[in-house]
Chain A
């Protein structure tokens, strides 16, 4: 019983937090973009526009669902579902805290603690390509098809360097279990720098970050939906909640990607220097949870700032960076890391 009930409670809490975060992330994105462009941004619905997302969701519910007559109806509705499921379920293996004791019971703050966590995440995120490719193909629209094709080529190209840039961490931790990868990031280098992988694997971190931008189709890699060339890209023919699901998936995968970055490179739930204070175990658990949340929010803010300050790549530039810069660089990083471990420096 506990085997089923405990994960379900955790899943519902995580989904609720993710959905709330998505709606406010949209608002933050619109506000940040407005301030960058010297505008005010949404400010009519609720104080400071705080209820704007609620209004948007209600509007999506009352819109007509239009499926073009030449489209493949089943795949047309399947594609947004795939995108959302992949974006949310990736969170299942990410540890968002250490352990928490509630009413005498100890709970692990991770939904599924599997020994191949890294592989599960890579497998699920690569399924995300299907959502976009199928939506592009099934709409029977030329813009959608081009958007879907571009997107699949881009995502698979960057998946390679993403996969290789992680290996440096696996070499150091000797495990693919995410909880162990986080646990190994406790402690300090030279006694004052937190032992996070970003300081041990700076090149791996940069490659992984850039690949994540490409994988989540965010600017500067948002060619699948480059408005000036492709109208709406793969979701040109989507309306109502199906469009809403793509929108949800985009932001949810941004959150999961940030959580993955934090887990792998920024120490996960590790809050540095916490052991110098005499907190009770419960307070420490809460502080670790909030450390994770704060780190994720910072990465999300970085995503948003990049989107509104950097112009889009051209498609040939994008492919050249992926195959001719990132791929060799990540392999080089792998060899150097392996060598440093071999001579006992890392």
Chain B
């Protein structure tokens, strides 16, 4: 655990820095809110409906595909660090793994999940 203490310290100090900057501005800056100022910016028009509505399904598709592929990427890391020890066995095993990954990849491509028109 010991080598990780500085990382936590770094997180704490930079959080403190950000919060201090925000608080400083809140005490220094003026506060004259009015209705027009607090309305959402929509190029000078009256805002129409809320922004929290449905959006394109493609973003969900990318997110799901990302999770699938990212988990497979993580499997590469321990393999890479031990590669010289594993030798030919590790290489062939990884070719099989990448082969399976590519089958999934071509399936996704063929289904048009990555089409953005």
Contacts and interface: CB of A to CB of B under 8 A. Distances in A.
A111 B10 contact: yes
A61 B77 contact: no
A264 interface: no
Contacts of B88: 342
Given A8-B9, A85-B14, A237-B41, A140 B52 contact: yes
Contact of B7 (A92, A142, A176, A237): A92
Given A81-B15, A81-B18, A170-B80, A7 B6 contact: yes
Interface string B68-104: 0110011011001111100110010011001001100
Interface stretch (A288-296, A303-311, A316-324): A316-324
B80 A112 contact: no
Interface string B35-65: 0011111110000001110010011001100
Interface stretch (A158-166, A199-207, A279-287): A158-166
Interface residues of B, number: 66
B33 A66 contact: yes
B22 A164 contact: no
Contacts of A141: 40-42, 51
B24 A323 contact: no
Contacts of A244: 21, 25
A7 B8 CA distance: 10
In the A-B complex, the 4 residue pairs with the closest CB atoms: A241-B25, A316-B116, A7-B6, A112-B6
Interface of A: 3-4, 7-8, 10-12, 15, 60-70, 77, 80-81, 84-85, 88-89, 91-93, 111-115, 118-120, 137, 139-146, 149, 152-153, 156-157, 159-160, 163-164, 167, 170-171, 174-176, 231, 236-237, 240-242, 244-245, 315-316, 319-320, 323-324, 327-328, 331, 334-335, 338-339, 341-342
